[in-house]
Amino acid sequence: MSKSGVLLNSFRQFSSKNVTPKVCVVGAGPAGFYATQQILKVKPEAKVDILEKLPVPFGLVRFGVAPDHPEVKNVINTFDKIAKDDRVQFLGNVDVGKDVKIEELKNLYHAIVLTYGAEYDRTLNIPGENLNNVIAARNFVGWYNGIPCDKNLKIDLSGEDAVILGQGNVAIDIARILLSSVDRLKTTDITSHALEQLAESKVKRVWLIGRRGPLQAAFTIAELREMLKLPNCKTFWRPNDFTGIKDIVANLARPRKRLTELMLKSLDEAPHDKRNFDKEFHPIFLRGPTEFIGTSNIEKVKFSVNELEGEDLLKQTAKATDKFEDFPCNLAVRSIGYKSKLIDPNIPFDVKSGKIINSDGKVEKGLYAAGWVATGPMGIIISTMNNAFKVGQIVSIELDLSEDKGGYLDLKNLLNERGINVVDYHGWEKIDHEERKRGKSVGKPREKIVEISEMLKIALN
Amino acid sequence: MALRQKVMAFSRAMVPQTISKSALKAARSDQSALIFRRLLSTTNPQAQNKEVSVTFIRASGEKIEAKGKVGDSLLDVIVNNEIDLDGFGACEGTLTCSTCHLIFSKEDYDKLPEKPTDEELDMLDLAYDLTDTSRLGCQIILSEELNGLQVRVPATINDARS
Ligand SMILES: Cc1cc2nc3c(=O)[nH]c(=O)nc-3n(C[C@H](O)[C@H](O)[C@H](O)COP(=O)(O)OP(=O)(O)OC[C@H]3O[C@@H](n4cnc5c(N)ncnc54)[C@H](O)[C@@H]3O)c2cc1C
Ligand code: FES
């Protein structure tokens, strides 16, 4: 190495030693918090700023996880610790892509980690999808969980039959909420507007309809077991859906085996189950939606009768036959998955799969993606966590500290100049406090505030 | 007094009936009872409880020795000893996450006094690197017989680095 090269090199080493690594995380859901945690672990001298579109943090832990599953939300205690770390700043009410551009963030930070989740829903693109009371799962969940834009969702629960298209855990959550007694829900943090409407609900039967068979069912066993034990509700299976399954169940790998065994057990026990029930849960397999039918309101959903094809039993795909079956209903909820949106034209994005183009979390130099926006809307918090840990580690290792960056102070100035009311973590704590207070007076852990303007008023006061 | 007995004595005081072992087990699988018990076990300041030593072995082979008390869960041991395992115990022992997954030797697994409930097995089904001798750490309660126990912590991102 030439003398000047050595000099330059040692200069770089010297200078980068004094540069504080500054990382910007976009989206305050599980991926954002877990990535932050990992970055601080690998680079204890780093500073991490978490930008969040809403005035309130925690993403789908607040707005997705069902109100009757409060234990799942215990992860918030970990997130709370992370947010209160001196090296971390929470900047709520900052809509990245709109209030500040990715290019601008690139100038202010050594690395950016995009963890803005998957907030949009997939459509089926079949006729009748716009009929009244054909509702996206995302909006239904947002309605009972208090996502501000879903507070006025128009939903009619005056009919007895609800069809849910899709059989994932989100579909099960919705089925459970529709089939639960109000007594079971009224002590949760479900929104009061949803509780009021559910109290008047006439829904008696929920049809949970999937395109493939029991061996490909997407729900997991804990969620199914909960449905089977739901008070005042009985589960009905169609024996034909299980033809041949008994013979192969012994050869399946454990999780699939236990899930399938539980379905078979429930199928066998159903005739002897003498519990009282008013409500019915009907998982239906091998039916693919082809049309929503009705004049202005949904009246029935038309399904093709499907067959399975493919060698690998667990990965078989559905193929429509020329037969059809109709399911009359007064409400149809489409629960076939979420997808992400491009928030800034400078992010490489695959519109078809609805996620950011990345390789193991890396998008390009200094730009990374983790969680649902990177992996697609798959899996549970633990899978999001593992992904975010991995990406957080790569970010930390690859940090290029050859120049100093403006970070938090410069960003704060920029946002101030633009008139953005940034909600810091203390602001969120005020909202949190108010929500708990309102909840207490009605016997709930919290009463979520669903107006952004009201959140801001409390936080910025 | 061992914590288990204490819980029993406490429950006896509350409910004037003898509580059989199976009833206690039933109560344990009830979540509120579980949380209550955890609260007791983590906040109980009394030190007379017998110490039990446990060794956690990371996927990298690194051994971490820790001490717990009779009545503590393995999750309590990790929390109380501030053992740095990323993401461990995310749901705080409420049987809704599987991040407290631990792997036992066949011998120890068979020796554990309480067999996993369906609910524990359901959560384990979602765990990474599931084995036939896997259990959830928040469901394993230390007894004197478990002194010297060695358990493996399945590979996490944490170990991949070292
Ligand atoms: C209905 C439902 C129920 C679920 N229930 C469970 C469960 O019981 N147990 C379980 O383990 N998992 C559950 N999951 C899965 C779990 O929620 C996800 O694994 C996890 O939340 C994904 O984390 P994430 O951080 O990638 O995304 P998210 O949680 O969606 O977080 C993304 C964050 O980014 C913010 N954001 C979006 N756009 C912008 C922008 N332009 N600028 C700044 N911020 C932005 C969002 O507001 C949000 O806060 C559920 C998911 C759903 C949809
Ligand atoms: S800590 Fe979540 S299941 Fe044990």
Tens of pLDDT along A119-167?
988 899 999 999 999 999 999 999 999 999 999 999 999 999 999 999 9
Task: Take residue A365 and report the two structure tokens written for it.
Answer: 């130099």
CB contact under 8 A, A220 and B158: no
Contacts of B22 (CB under 8 A, 6+ apart): none
d(CA B34, nearest CA chain A) in Å: 12
Gap between the Cα atoms of A203 and A280, Å rounded: 9
What pLDDT is stored for residue A16 in this prediction? 57
Amino acid letter at B159?
A: D
Query: Nearest CA to CA, how far is B99 from chain A (Å)?
Result: 7
Q: Please report the number of interchain residue pairs, chain A to chain B, with beta-carbon separation below 8 angstroms.
A: 74
- pLDDT higher than 90, residue A8: no
Q: Taking 90 as the threshold, does the pLDDT of residue B5 lie above it?
A: no
A212 labeled binding residue = yes
Q: How many Å lie between the alpha carbon of B86 and the closest alpha carbon of chain A?
A: 8
Could you tell me if B125 lies within 8 Å of chain A, comparing CB atoms? yes
Q: How far apart are CA A173 and CA A227, in angstroms?
A: 9
DSSP structural state of residue B141: B
Is A169 annotated as contributing to ligand binding? yes
Please state the separation of Cα A93 from the chain's center in Å.
19
Average pLDDT over residues B105-118: 94
Strands (E), A210-275: 233-235
What is the 8-class DSSP label of residue B137? G
Distance from CA of B96 to the nearest CA of A (A): 6
Mean pLDDT (whole number) for A72-77? 97
Which residue do the tokens 């975010």 mark?
A: A388
Residue A405 carries which side chain, given as an amino acid letter?
K
Q: What pLDDT sits at residue B155? A: 80
Strand order in the sheet with B134-136: B63-69, B51-57, B149-152, B101-103, B134-136
Query: Are the beta carbons of A291 and A128 closer than 8 angstroms?
Result: yes
CA A78 – CA B90 distance, rounded (Å): 8
Coil, helix or strand for A154? coil
Render the burial of A131-142: b for 16+ CB within 10 Å, e for the rest. Answer: bebbbbbbbbbb
Q: Is A32 in the pocket of ligand 1 (CB under 6 A)?
A: yes
What is the tens place of the pLDDT at every residue in A48-61? Answer: 999 999 999 999 99
Q: Is A116 in the pocket of ligand 1 (CB under 6 A)?
A: yes
Q: Is the pLDDT of residue B25 over 80?
A: no
Distance from CA of A387 to the nearest CA of B (A): 9
CB contact under 8 Å between B122 and A393, yes or no, is no
Instruction: Report whether residue A164 contacts ligand 1, using a CB cutoff of 6 Å.
Output: no
* Distances A275 to A145, A222, A228 between C-alpha atoms, Å: 31, 21, 12
Name the nearest CA neighbour of A33 among A64, A99, A79.
A79
Instruction: Give start and end residues of each alpha helix (H) in A84-153.
Output: 102-108, 137-145
Residues A396-424 pLDDT 10s: 999 999 999 999 999 999 999 999 999 99
- Ligand in nearest proximity to the CA of A147: 1
AA identity, residue A163? V
B71 φ, ψ to 5°?
100, -20
Question: Would you say residue A6 has pLDDT above 60?
Answer: no
Instruction: Express each pLDDT in B70-93 by its tens digit.
Output: 999 999 999 999 999 989 999 999
pLDDT digits (tens, 9 = 90+) for A342-373: 999 989 999 988 999 999 999 999 999 999 99
* Residue A407 counted as an annotated binding residue: no
Question: What's the CA gap between B152 and B55, in Å, rounded?
Answer: 8
For A226, the 3-state DSSP assignment is helix
- What confidence category does residue A274 fall into, taking pLDDT thresholds of 50, 70 and 90? confident
Which residue in B30, B88, B126 has the most chain A C-beta atoms within 10 A of its own C-beta, making it the best mutation to test that interface? B126
pLDDT, average across residues A99-111:
98
Looking at the predicted structure, is the pLDDT value of residue A116 above 60? yes
A430 CA distance to ligand 2 centroid (A)?
29
Does the annotation flag A168 for ligand binding? yes
Q: Indicate whether B4 pLDDT > 80.
A: no
- Ligand 1 mean position to A223 CA, how many Å? 19
> What pLDDT shows up at residue B24?
35
**Closest CA relative to residue B135, chosen from B74, B64, B55, B63:** B74
Ligand nearest to the CA of A222: 1
At B36 the pLDDT is: 44
Cα separation, B89 vs B99, in Å, equals 5
For residue B32, the chain A residues in CB contact (below 8 A) are none
Q: Which helix (DSSP H) or strand (DSSP E) does residue A31 occupy?
A: helix A30-42
Q: Say yes or no for a CB contact (<8 Å) between A385 and B87.
A: yes
- Residue B159 above 80 pLDDT? no
Indicate the residue of A75, A225, A254 with minimum beta-carbon distance to B90. Answer: A75
Question: How much is the mean pLDDT over chain A?
Answer: 95
Residue A64 has what pLDDT? 97
A210 is in an annotated binding site: no
Count the alpha carbons within 13 Å of A51 in the hemisphere toward its beta carbon.
27
Nearest CA in chain A to B91: A74
Q: How far apart are CA A150 and CA A135, in angstroms?
A: 11
- How far separated are the first and last CA of chain B, in Å rounded? 41
B123 vs A78: CB contact, 8 Å cut-off? no
Ligand 1 centroid to A64 CA: how many Å? 7
* A267 C-alpha to ligand 2 centroid (Å): 30
Q: For A176-207, how does the pLDDT look when each residue is reduced to its tens digit (9 = 90+)? A: 999 999 999 999 999 999 999 999 999 999 99
> Which chain A residues have a beta carbon less than 8 Å from that of B161?
42, 393
> How many residues make up chain B in this entry?
162
Residue A60 labeled ligand binder: yes
- For the segment A240-248, the average pLDDT, to the nearest whole number, is 95
DSSP H or E segment with residue A85: none
Within 10 angstroms of residue A411's Cβ, the number of other Cβ atoms is: 25
Q: In sequence order, what E strands does A171-242 have?
A: 205-209, 233-235
| B125 pLDDT more than 50 | yes
Strand ranges for chain B from DSSP E: 51-57, 63-69, 101-103, 134-136, 149-152
CB spacing of A225 vs B92 below 8 angstroms:
no
d(CA A314, CA A213): 9
| Chain A positions in Cβ-Cβ contact with residue B95 (cut-off 8 Å) | 71
As beta bridge partners, residue A291 has A302
Q: Is A259 close to B125, i.e. CB distance below 8 A?
A: yes
Task: State whether the beta carbon of A170 lies less than 6 angstroms from ligand 1.
Answer: yes
Q: Residue B9: is its pLDDT beyond 50? A: no
Could you report the per-residue pLDDT of A276-307, keeping only the tens digit for each?
Answer: 899 999 999 999 999 999 999 999 999 999 99
pLDDT band of residue B30 (cuts 50, 70, 90) is: very low
What is the average pLDDT across A377-386? 91
- What pLDDT was estimated at residue B157? 53
Q: In chain B, what's the furthest Cα-to-Cα distance?
A: 55
Euclidean distance between CA atoms A59 and A121, whole angstroms: 16
pLDDT at A273: 86
Report the separation in Å between the CA atom of A382 and the middle of ligand 2, taken as the mean of its atom positions. 11
Non-local (6+) Cβ contacts of A215 within 8 A are: A245, A252, A256, A260, A313, A314, A316
The set of protein residues with a Cβ atom below 6 angstroms from ligand 2 is B 75, 89-91, 93, 95-100, 123, 136, 138
pLDDT tens by residue, B56-73: 999 889 999 999 999 999
Contact A99, A415 (CB under 8 A): yes
- In this prediction, residues A380-393 reach a mean pLDDT of 95
Nearest to B109, CA basis, from B150, B68, B61: B150
Which residue is closest to A221 within chain B, CA to CA? B122
Predicted local distance difference test score (pLDDT) of residue A378: 86
pLDDT at A236 over 90: yes
DSSP A60-72: HHHHTS-TT-GGG
Residues 6+ apart with CB under 8 A from A393: A38, A42, B157, B161
- CA-based nearest residue in chain B for residue A226: B119
Q: Tell me, what's the pLDDT at A75?
A: 97
User: Which residues of A touch chain B, with CB atoms under 8 Å apart?
Assistant: 34, 37-38, 41-42, 69, 71-72, 74-75, 77-78, 220-222, 225, 254-255, 258-259, 380-382, 385-386, 389-390, 393
State the greatest distance between any 2 C-alpha atoms of chain A, in Å, as a whole number.
88
Average pLDDT, chain B: 76
Q: What is the pTM of this model?
A: 0.90
Nearest neighbour of B99 by CB, restricted to A69, A259, A382: A382
Q: In percent, how much of chain B has pLDDT > 90?
A: 60
Nearest CA-CA partner of A258 in A304, A292, A214: A214
Strand order in the sheet with A279-284: A134-136, A331-334, A161-165, A205-209, A279-284, A233-235
